[in-house]
Amino acid sequence: MASPFDASSMPLSHNPNMSQTHYHHSCIYSTFTNQVPSLSFCKYQLNTFHTHTLVDEDVSEHSLWLKMQDEARIDVTLEPILSTYYHSTILSQKSLLTALANHLAIKLSSANLPYAPLFDLFKGILEGDDLNIMDAVKHDLIAAKERDPACISYVHCFLNFKGFLACQAHRVAHKLWLQGRKVLAVMIQNRVSEVLGVDIHPGAKIGSRILLDHATGIVVGETAVIGNDVSILHSVTLGGTGNITGDRHPKIGHVLKFRSVLKCGKNDRLWNKFSSSSSSWSNRPPPSSEMKGKVLCFTNENPTKVKGTRISVDDVCMVLENGPLGPAIQDALNVFDEMPQHELVVGVIRKLKDVNTALQFFRWVERKTEQAHGPEAYNAILMLMARTRNLDHFEQIIEEMSIAGFGLSNNTCVELVARFVNSRKVREAFGIIESMRRFKFRPDFSAYTTLIGALSASSECDLMLTLYHQMQELGYEVSIHLFTTLIRVFAKEGHIVAAHSLLDEMKSNSFNADRILYNICIDCFGKVGKVDIAWKFFHEMKAQGLVPDDVTYTSMIGVLCKAERLDEAIKLFEELDLNRNIPCVYAYNTMIMGYGSVGKFNEAYNLLERQKRKGCIPSVIAYNCILTCLGRKGKLEEALMIYEEMKKDAAPNLLTYNILIDMFCKAGELEAALKVQDSMKEAGLFPNIMTVNIMIDRLCKAQKLDEACSIFLGLDHKVCTPDTVTFCSLIDGLGRLGRVNDAYSLYETMLDSGQTPDVVVYTSLIRNFFKCGRKEDGHKIYKEMVLRGCSPDLMFLNAYMDCVFKVGETEKGRALFEEIRAQGLIPDVRSYSILIHGLVKAGFSKETYNLFYEMKEQGLHLDTRAYNTVIDGFCKSGKVNKAYQLLEEMKTKGLQPTVVTYGCVVDGLAKIDRLDEAYMLFEDAKSKDIDLNVVIYSSLIDGFGKVGRIDEAYLILEELMQKGLTANTFTWNCLLDALVKAEEIDEALVCFQNMKNLKCSPNEITYSIMINGLCMIRKFNKAFVFWQEMQKQGLKPNTITYTTMISGLAKAGNVQEAKGLFDRFMASGGVPDSGCYNAMIEGLSNADKAMDAYALFEQARLKGCCIYSKTCVVLLDALHKADCLEQAAIVGAVLRKMAKSQHATRLP
């Protein structure tokens, strides 16, 4: 369940045309968000605002919510004691909908009916009702503010008026009743009656703009109906007529303002059928004599006019809802005598729920009246587009408005943006702003700040900056709070230069940083590892005369603990705790987490005791921090002891049990984890899907797939429904073990269950299909993902590109890199690293240079992995000096070069014979305690061997073995090749035998080296023995091995074997070189097989191979001996031609 206390996407509401009132900042925080995900740490949620004025009942829900938040901030400024209450109920909520679900869940929850499921229930009903309930909620709030003189503000009504809350709880219960969930609906009715003293049967129908004033004792029966615009005071009963079943309760029709007020001094019932003994309503109006002193009814001064207008709108809507605006519908509309008036058109558009229907009516009225619409009708159409989130005709409408010279109302502009923001479609909201600017409209200030606030939640830095610059162009006054939001996001995302630039710009605009901004800078810069900059802000804050508060200290302590600068953190903590009678709980929790993260558990336990001595009982958060750290260190027994100790001070919560289950699953103790689940149930807590996900995920990572599948199959889907995370963990676990068919079957089960796979599921499937060599299936998964409308993110495209490069599809990899930009994403360091590595592997290392500088121009900060990739590319493209420079650059930036870094540069230097430099770098790596591997040793052995420094190569090999490393086949091949080139064949044979003795299997390259060496010293028979051994090992000779062996056998006179080998080589698709042809021709000629030799001679000429003069002479002699005079004449002609050519080349 998503937490209702998430204010990260809360919009910024600020009107530049009104004076700024108050700004309130409060925070709920714990410690180390990245270490304990379920604890929110020092997260500043910022809203800039000015007072919003609501002028009519057609105001949008979003504008009303902004107004309520403004009122809440003012209340908190006047009464600071309410700050925590207002923050949790209003200021931290994303919308009126989530705030209402949260508030009702808190009010109606009990020991046996926890908050969480109630919140999920209310939120689901409110969201799933096509916003009809929320429209009624909005109008109820406005009605209370207008009609009740005691209502001082909207937020006052929302939080404190039990009549309002009872009415909204009834709307949820009524929806459940209509869905057939009657038991749950009656349960909510009962809780409302117990808590609020209002008893409304969930079957009752209640309209909009309702005021239940005071509300105590109101009773409404099952079949009662209350229309719109009704006000009811306390102790009113809409009771039954005495019928056992059926329609038995009174009805109140639509009255604009109907107030029924009981005036009595005793226990009288209102509407006791106007007699003291009855307890039911009459369906007839009471006589005036009986009404006196009992009921006062107030109606609108001109009810006929209002009633006529309202009925006309309803009738038109009823006609339009029967289908598309064809001839039949037009005829029905033409029945109305009156020409459609402006107010009627606007009213109809506001009431319709379909944009296309509204546009058809809109165009029909234009044709009918032969007049253009006014700005109100156009704005009503746009408001409908906002409510339905349908922008199909948006640009057409605003283009018409632009041509007509009409303006967009501020409410319309804000509503358009806010609706898409609330639906998490921030890019569509950004497109709305861009369209407005394209047609020369001036977007409202609140639209900008709302969208910037939403973009800050998704960290869309570039779009935020674009909107900020547009605001400057339009002349909007940018507040310090907007600067604060921008700086927070840029710093949080690691764009330090941009954040500093915004800080400088803020100061140049004569804004002085306040405590809130300093706290945010300390927190955000610290979290991205810029600890010294965070320290600078802390000291600068003091220098500016601002006193650090608890948040400042806690943030700075958290930053220092995360950076493992524990001594500084302790000093700061002691400074905060000095002379404080009441300890700062958040600072204690942060410090406890800091001690636990570095394994100093005794110090953490001492802090718990110190907290107790100061009269403050450690909270469940403190204990959960310790348990988390113990789990990371694998100290299961100690964690269980702390868990038992914890029970004395704080009741374990769901997170506590989840931590313990996680620890048991990591340790492979599934039975113990299941026992913890039982303990949860005994404590009144029930395992949620997070608990299940932890167990399944840990078991999958421990490769205990059967146990994980058993838990999954044993789930009761009515109680605990698997979510995307559940399926993703199992799909990934199955795929990693090669069970990709099972993984895909589970993916299909996920689709059948109504779950929508996210990009993580598709990433896992594609990666594992490629890993199993089924690249075509991997590509099919990608196509299926696109067809299902799942947009790939940067992480997915990086993973897919990596898979594609690894299977050698270089051009496809390039295309995926371009796809990143096509999707509107920005390639990151990982993207470039994958591209460079893939291109280097495919032989395109020369492109490294351009890609490296492209990364630099993008402002990307290279990590160690990226540096290694680029250095490898430079080395393979021959730019070793540049690679050496990057190695030094890494050191200056505080990045520690790894064995891969040193290995790339050493190999690059060795390949260009700069062996002394390579060896010095090798020694430098050893001095820095780099754990050198066999690859770097092999590079040096290869380099020394190629230049004939065999003794040094042997010394390197000896050092390798002394370090306990095992030389691989490549290492031995390097040494053997060096020995063969030095014609140390006997030594090479000894080395080859040592290689086999050390259980290192020779490969085809090893045998090729040995065969070539033996042929060089004309030990052809010995070479043929190696050839036969190679064949027995199942190794396939390469072209060089074939040609070497063929030439060797031919030169040794083993013409028959050579010819057979030559024929097999040709049959397998091999292409002999010139040396092979010449050796075979000479061998066959010497064996008196002149015509066979001549046939190869012609074949070689046709293939463009060079025939040596000596070969021609030997062949000519053989042909003459065999009396093949015609063929001899041809060979002689070729020989004479070669002689003339050689003579010509010698002439000056």
On whether residue 1142 sits in a domain, the answer given is yes
| pLDDT for res 1007 | 86
The set of residues, in sequence order, having a beta carbon less than 8 Å from that of 903 and lying 6+ positions away, is 933, 935, 936, 939
Q: Which of 1129, 1064, 1139 is nearest to 1107 (CA)?
A: 1139
On whether residue 49 sits in a domain, the answer given is no
Using the predicted structure, report yes or no on whether residue 89 has a pLDDT greater than 80. Answer: yes
Give the confidence band of 250 by pLDDT, cuts at 50, 70, 90.
Answer: low
CB 437 within 8 A of CB 421: no
| pLDDT for res 53 | 36
- How many angstroms separate the CA atoms of 197 and 357, rounded? 44
On whether residue 608 sits in a domain, the answer given is no
| pLDDT for res 129 | 60
Q: Helices 342-351 and 355-369, interaxial angle, to 10°?
A: 170
Q: Which of 267, 299, 331 is the last residue of a domain?
A: 299
| pLDDT for res 805 | 92
CB 730 within 8 A of CB 696: yes
pLDDT digits (tens, 9 = 90+) for 999-1030: 888 988 888 888 888 877 778 778 788 888 88
- C-alpha 492, offset from chain centre: 15
Average pLDDT, integer, range 102-115: 86
Triad 212, 215, 219: Cα angle to 5°: 95
Which range of 198-202, 348-352, 370-374, 701-705 scores highest in mean pLDDT? It is: 198-202
- How many angstroms separate the CA atoms of 113 and 129, rounded? 24
- Which is higher by pLDDT, 754 or 295? 754
| pLDDT for res 336 | 66
Q: Which of 858, 940, 957, 853 is nearest to 905 (CA)?
A: 940
- What amino acid is encoded at 379 in this protein? N
pLDDT digits (tens, 9 = 90+) for 538-568: 888 888 888 888 888 999 999 999 888 899 9
| pLDDT for res 783 | 92
On whether residue 793 sits in a domain, the answer given is no
| pLDDT for res 165 | 93
Q: Which of 250, 284, 299 is the last residue of a domain?
A: 299
User: How many domains does one find in the chain?
Assistant: 2
CB 723 within 8 A of CB 120: no
The set of residues, in sequence order, having a beta carbon less than 8 Å from that of 683 and lying 6+ positions away, is 651, 652
Calculate the dihedral angle through the C-alpha atoms of 715, 721, 726, 731, rounding to the nearest 10 degrees: 80
Using the predicted structure, report yes or no on whether residue 173 has a pLDDT greater than 80. Answer: yes
Q: Helices 724-736 and 705-713, interaxial angle, to 10°?
A: 150
- Which is higher by pLDDT, 230 or 258? 230
The set of residues, in sequence order, having a beta carbon less than 8 Å from that of 178 and lying 6+ positions away, is none
Using the predicted structure, report yes or no on whether residue 390 has a pLDDT greater than 50. Answer: yes
Average pLDDT, integer, range 1094-1103: 87
Which range of 23-27, 160-164, 878-882 scores highest in mean pLDDT? It is: 160-164
Average pLDDT, integer, range 840-854: 84
pLDDT digits (tens, 9 = 90+) for 643-671: 888 888 888 888 888 888 888 888 878 78
Q: Could you tell me where the DSSP H helices lie in 683-739?
A: 689-701, 705-713, 724-736
CB 357 within 8 A of CB 320: yes
Q: Which of 924, 914, 878, 911 is nearest to 901 (CA)?
A: 924
Using the predicted structure, report yes or no on whether residue 283 has a pLDDT greater than 70. Answer: no
On whether residue 816 sits in a domain, the answer given is no
| pLDDT for res 11 | 35
No. of helices (H) and no. of strands (E), the chain: 57, 9
Using the predicted structure, report yes or no on whether residue 9 has a pLDDT greater than 70. Answer: no
What's the domain range around 1134? Answer: 1073-1148
Using the predicted structure, report yes or no on whether residue 266 has a pLDDT greater than 50. Answer: no
Give the confidence band of 1147 by pLDDT, cuts at 50, 70, 90.
Answer: very low
Q: Which of 532, 529, 572 is nearest to 554 (CA)?
A: 572
Using the predicted structure, report yes or no on whether residue 184 has a pLDDT greater than 50. Answer: yes
CATH number of the CATH domain containing 1097: 1.25.40.10
Average pLDDT, integer, range 426-446: 90
Give the confidence band of 164 by pLDDT, cuts at 50, 70, 90.
Answer: very high
Cα Rg of the chain, angstroms:
41
- Nearest 5°: phi and psi at 539? -75, -35
| pLDDT for res 282 | 38
- How many angstroms separate the CA atoms of 359 and 1068, rounded? 74
Using the predicted structure, report yes or no on whether residue 287 has a pLDDT greater than 50. Answer: no
Using the predicted structure, report yes or no on whether residue 802 has a pLDDT greater than 90. Answer: yes
| pLDDT for res 1035 | 83
> Minimum mean pLDDT among 420-434, 678-692, 905-919, 1109-1123: which range?
678-692
Question: Tokens 């003291």 label which residue?
Answer: 276
pLDDT digits (tens, 9 = 90+) for 521-540: 888 888 878 888 888 888 88
- How many angstroms separate the CA atoms of 1085 and 1096, rounded? 11
On whether residue 581 sits in a domain, the answer given is no
pLDDT digits (tens, 9 = 90+) for 723-743: 888 899 999 999 988 899 999
| pLDDT for res 261 | 39
Using the predicted structure, report yes or no on whether residue 308 has a pLDDT greater than 60. Answer: no
- Nearest 5°: phi and psi at 276? -75, -15
Reading the block at residue 988, the tokens are 């090479």
On whether residue 146 sits in a domain, the answer given is yes
On whether residue 797 sits in a domain, the answer given is no
Reading the block at residue 899, the tokens are 């064995």
CB 211 within 8 A of CB 149: no
- How many angstroms separate the CA atoms of 107 and 1083, rounded? 102
- What is the residue-averaged pLDDT of the chain? 80
Average pLDDT, integer, range 339-357: 84
Using the predicted structure, report yes or no on whether residue 54 has a pLDDT greater than 60. Answer: no
Q: Which of 382, 387, 429 is nearest to 407 (CA)?
A: 382
Question: Is the whole-model pTM more than 0.85?
Answer: no
| pLDDT for res 798 | 92
3 state DSSP class of 1018: coil
- What amino acid is encoded at 745 in this protein? S
Question: Tokens 């619409």 label which residue?
Answer: 373
Q: Which of 299, 316, 335 is the last residue of a domain?
A: 299
pLDDT digits (tens, 9 = 90+) for 826-845: 888 899 989 988 888 888 88
- How many angstroms separate the CA atoms of 1011 and 991, rounded? 14
Average pLDDT, integer, range 431-451: 90
CATH number of the CATH domain containing 219: 1.10.3130.10
Which range of 760-774, 907-921, 1029-1043 scores highest in mean pLDDT? It is: 760-774
* Beta bridge mates, 232: 212, 260
> Minimum mean pLDDT among 698-712, 766-780, 1048-1062: which range?
1048-1062
Proportion of the chain above pLDDT 90, given as a percent? 11
| pLDDT for res 25 | 31
Reading the block at residue 922, the tokens are 């090798």
